[in-house]
Every structure is written in structure tokens, then in C-alpha cells.
Amino acid sequence: MQREIRRCRDHLVSIGTGVSLFGIWTVIRIIMGFILEREYVMEEIQKGTDEDQRLVIAVLCFLIAVFLLMILGIHLYIGMSARREGLGGKKGNGYLIVTALFILFYCFGITAEIVLYDKAFKGISDGIVTVFIDITMLVTLAELMFNAVRVRKLSRQLTETGCENAG
């Protein structure tokens, strides 16, 4: 049983690292998308010469920055919490709740991407890659959840068995 606990904890460390890195990669990918499409973005900004339109653009940029920080923060929170638990540290329930909500978010997102495929993507390769990446992340989060619950269940069983053998 201890071998199984160690294996699940090792998985938590690996998966937690992956989730954290995926969050960083997602933010970089979004920023790179803006950089690669900067000519289009600059054209749209220059169209607006009046003060109101510039204010709207400034607010939109602020909201995008907040959104990117939220994405990064959620991924880092889940990833670092899973790593901490895998390394034998604090076993918080908060990150499991956030993970469950994120799993639901990915389920809805993947469904929307498939249903609205023609409207959501420029080309077929963009769509296939995006859906594949989202499915991979969904499976990764589900595996994280499974291993965290398994570690807790096996640890509790080991503690109960140890107490019964000692008594």
C-alpha cells in the first residue's frame, strides 16, 4: 500500500508541475497571439480617434491583463498545491474544489468548441490542435483529482490498519 501511495504522490508532483507550466504556456500563447496580430490590433486602435473609444480600448486591455493573471493564478494554485501534497505537505481541499470547477469549465469549453467549430476557428488545423490540447488538459486535471483522492484514501486506510495492528 505504501508503494501505491508513493506512486500516486509522484504523479501529483509531475501533474502539478505540468499544470503550472501549462498555465505559463497559455499566457505566453495568448500574448504571442496579440503580438503576431499586432498590425490588426494597431489598425483597430488607430480607427478610434475620439476619447471614448480610447477609453474603451484601455479598459479592454486592462480586462485582458486581469484575465491572463487569473488564468495563470488558477493554474499555479492547482499545480503548486498538487506538488505540495505530492511532496508530503499540506493537504488542502480548496485546490481540489477549484480543480473540479476547472474540469467542468473545460467540459463546457470543449463542447462549445466542437458545436461552434466553424465560428470559433480560422482553419481546421487550429481547431483540431485547440480541441486536442483542451482534451489533454481535461484528462490531466482528472488524473490529478484521481491521484489526490487516491493518496488520501490509501493514507487513511494505512493509518486505520496501523492503529488496528498496534492495538
pLDDT of residue 137: 94
Which pLDDT score, from 0 to 100, does residue 49 have? 61
Specify whether the CB–CB gap between 65 and 104 falls below 8 A.
no
| Cα first-last separation, the chain | 20
- Domain residue spans of the chain: 2-166
Amino acid code (one letter) for 15: I
**Residues in the chain with pLDDT < 70?**
41-42, 44-52, 162-167
CA distance 28 to 68: 9
* DSSP one-letter string for 75-117: HHHHHHHHHHHHTT----SHHHHHHHHHHHHHHHHHHHHHHTH
